[in-house]
């Protein structure tokens, strides 16, 4: 699949995301603009290429917008399973060195547990779909950002975690081209 910015230039009104449950449609232009705003926010917060973020989200449009924002910012992004215990989620965030965490109001109970157990290197906690104490609104934050590309775009990559064989989750990371 080509980068959304390429498709957004050619087919700006073509659906990039169609949410099965709600029928919500996000066009390539909207995905490109929202991911640019996310990348702008990451830079405003001091995140640079090679930094890590963690996220605990259900299947929603914001997940893909955040992934593309991280990808175009050169960030390493770690999705965290909602089925993990509090200690496992905290371990993953500490192990990957996450500097920012993004959760979802739909998963507020799990996200609040992550907030309580989160390691000290995480300086920012955001939530999509609403907020709980200790979190800032992702939507409100990126709405303030410009839709233009950041000056130093580079390729970000995922860092996923397996169950491991020693009782602790193991990070699986394949460095991308920076």
What is the rounded CA–CA span in Å between residue 51 and residue 36?
Answer: 17
Give pLDDT, residue 23.
86
SS3 call for 135: coil
Strand pairing partners for 27? 15
pLDDT digits (tens, 9 = 90+) for 148-178: 999 999 999 999 888 766 667 777 767 765 4
What is the rounded CA–CA span in Å between residue 10 and residue 153?
Answer: 20
**Quick one: average pLDDT of 122-149?**
97
Give pLDDT, residue 97.
93
Residues 156, 47 contacting (CB under 8 angstroms): no
pLDDT digits (tens, 9 = 90+) for 7-53: 888 889 999 898 888 888 999 999 999 999 999 999 999 999 999 99
Q: CB neighbours of 43 closer than 8 A, spacing ≥ 6? A: 73, 150
pTM for this prediction:
0.90
């Amino acid at each position: 699949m080509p980068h959304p910015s390429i498709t957004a230039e050619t087919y700006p009104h073509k659906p990039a995301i169609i949410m099965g449950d709600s029928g919500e449609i996000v066009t390539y232009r909207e995905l490109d603009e929202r991911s640019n705003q996310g990348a702008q926010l990451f830079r405003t917060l001091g995140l640079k290429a090679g930094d890590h973020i963690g996220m605990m989200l259900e299947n929603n449009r914001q997940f893909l917008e955040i992934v593309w924002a991280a990808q175009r910012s050169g960030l390493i992004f770690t999705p965290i399973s909602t089925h993990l215990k509090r200690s496992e989620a905290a371990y993953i965030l500490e192990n990957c060195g996450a500097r920012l965490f993004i959760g979802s109001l739909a998963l507020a109970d799990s996200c609040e547990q992550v907030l309580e157990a989160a390691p000290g290197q995480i300086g920012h906690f955001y939530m999509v779909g609403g907020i709980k104490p200790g979190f800032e609104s992702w939507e409100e934050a990126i709405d303030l950002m410009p839709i233009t590309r950041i000056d130093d775009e580079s390729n970000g990559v995922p860092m996923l975690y397996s169950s491991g064989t020693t009782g602790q989750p193991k990070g699986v990371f394949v460095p991308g081209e920076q």
